[in-house]
Amino acid sequence: MIDIQCFGSSSAGNAYRITDGHTPLLLEAGLPYKVLQRALNFRMTDIAGCLITHEHLDHSKAAGDVMKAGINVYTSQGTATARGLSGHRLKVIKAMEQFQIGSWTILPFDIQHDVEEPLGFLLANTAGDKLVFLTDTYYCRHRFRDLTHIMVECNYSMDIVRERVATGHLHPAQMKRLLKSHFGLEHVKNFLKANDTRKVQEIWLLHLSDGNADEERFKREIQETTGKLVRVAGR
């Protein structure tokens, strides 16, 4: 049974704790270290490892402090170089090369974002749980079987974005970057339809934009698309 806690899921900072009851992990470290400490009840040593998708500070801000606390950080060489991370607590990983942390078998996979070497993660355990973590990308070419948990970015909807551009609330250049760096509602629906969701217990929608998203609508439409329990992270 996977338990997921959200500490932050926005451009202000992203961090999640997941555990299968045996091995707690931190996904992203995009909040100030003291905030993470409080969120984890100052039990940092309980965390078996921290996975970081890419170098943007809202995902990696506390990476150095997490390593100083004695926690291994797993990320790509591109991310490590961009953030200036080094030392024995840094564990460089590569897309499509799986590794173990405690009871988890983790497969990093390539995604598309405006950074050096971004990754998504597929996490599986011996109990048969399988979680995919996908954020800050505009495309995912991979397909996954037997998923039980999905954590996926749902940053915007095209109709909201177009309306905000038309009314002058969003600059066309911002829209262009958004479409080349983030997963929107339409992407999420297509991703879910393309993957095996028969065993899915819950879907978490991550990283909703403050201005370009509609929490209740997104939750309702994904529930209607999948028939699954949908949670909106950070709300």
pLDDT tens digit sequence for 47-73? 999 999 999 999 999 999 999 999 999
Which positions ≥6 away from 48 have C-beta within 8 Å?
A: 23, 24, 25, 71, 101, 102
Confidence of residue 235 (pLDDT cuts 50, 70, 90): low
Which positions ≥6 away from 35 have C-beta within 8 Å?
A: 7, 8, 13
| pLDDT of amino acid 170 | 86
The structure's pTM equals 0.95
- Cα–Cα distances in Å, from 39 out to 12, 15, 43, 63? 16, 10, 9, 16
| pLDDT of amino acid 40 | 96
Q: Could you give the CA distance from residue 4 to residue 233 in angstroms, rounded to a whole number?
A: 10
Which positions ≥6 away from 9 have C-beta within 8 Å?
A: 16, 206, 207, 208, 233, 234
User: Alpha-carbon Rg of the chain, whole angstroms?
Assistant: 17
β-pairing, 25-27 with 13-19? antiparallel
Let me know how long the chain is.
Answer: 235
Domain range 3-232, CATH architecture: 4-Layer Sandwich (3.60)
The pair of three-digit structure tokens given for residue 118, joined into one six-digit string: 């971004």
Q: Could you give the CA distance from residue 75 to residue 90 in angstroms, rounded to a whole number?
A: 8
Tens of pLDDT, residues 83-141: 999 999 999 999 999 999 999 999 999 998 777 899 999 999 999 999 999 998 888 99
Average pLDDT over residues 17-40: 97
